[in-house]
Amino acid sequence: MIGNHCLYNLPRDKLLPLLKIPNHGDGCTHAYYDFSPTPGYRFVVLDGYDISAIGWPHDHPNRLEALKILSEKNPNSDKNSPEGLKGVDRRFVMFNGAVGNKQMEWLDNVLKDATNMKQKVIICCHVPLDPGATSKTTLLWNYDQVMDLIQRYDCVKVCLSGHNHQGGYSVDSRGVHHRVLDAALECTPGTNA
């Protein structure tokens, strides 16, 4: 799955083919997909930078939507600064992003299908989905909408993410485990990452 550091280095149209991320056959450069490594399980990889100020061409509608969100939610001239923002509003910084409407519809259909197939689902998204598992500055912009959707389904068991380099863990009100994986670059010198 892609993250902000990937998008700092390569635009989506170059990055996704290198990572062999499927494009849903529509030629789009969205980085969400699912797969089942075995019949009882399904991995769902979300694109937390679907709506984002990074990775898209300058005039792309997803970038323009992200800039509009940032201008409404973050009064700072440096949109990577959460200064003055309180609680979960600290998430409205440029190094985060959101899951778009088309992806939300896709996710709903995937979770319906997984439920019908009696699969256990592991959700993966670079940007964390649960405020209890991460710093408020490293949270998906529309985490609440994504979590409302996920919590409609009993098939979702675990959400894995990164982004918050110190890592984190929580169990939400529906019993879904949220694990934010520590970044190897935060490993104390002389210890095993």
The DSSP string of 134-156 is S-GGGS-TTHHHHHHHHTT-TTE
Q: Is residue 100 part of a domain?
A: yes
Closest to 128 measured CA to CA, from 112, 106, 143, 116: 143
Q: What is the CATH number of the domain that holds 48?
A: 3.60.21.10
Q: Domain for residue 193, yes or no?
A: no
What backbone torsions phi and psi does residue 158 show, to the nearest 5 degrees?
-145, 145
> Residue 35 in 3-state DSSP?
strand
Determine contact, residues 15/2, Cβ cutoff 8 Å.
Answer: yes
Non-local (6+) Cβ contacts of 150 within 8 A are 107, 111, 123, 129, 156, 159, 176
Q: Evaluate whether residue 21 is within a structural domain.
A: yes
**CA nearest to 132, candidates 188, 185, 80, 174:** 174
Q: Is 157 inside any structural domain?
A: yes
Say how many domains are in the chain: 1
Report yes or no on 38 lying in a domain: yes
In a domain, 191, yes or no: no
Residue 63 lies in a domain: yes
Domain-located, residue 120: yes
CA neighbor of 133 nearest in space, from 163, 108, 92, 156: 163
**Residue pLDDT tens, the chain, 193 long:** 899 999 999 988 888 888 888 765 555 678 999 999 999 999 999 999 999 999 999 999 999 999 999 999 999 999 999 999 999 999 999 999 999 999 999 999 999 999 999 999 999 999 999 999 999 999 999 999 999 999 999 999 999 999 998 889 999 999 999 999 988 777 778 887 6
Whole-prediction pTM value?
Answer: 0.92
Domain coverage including residue 66: 4-186
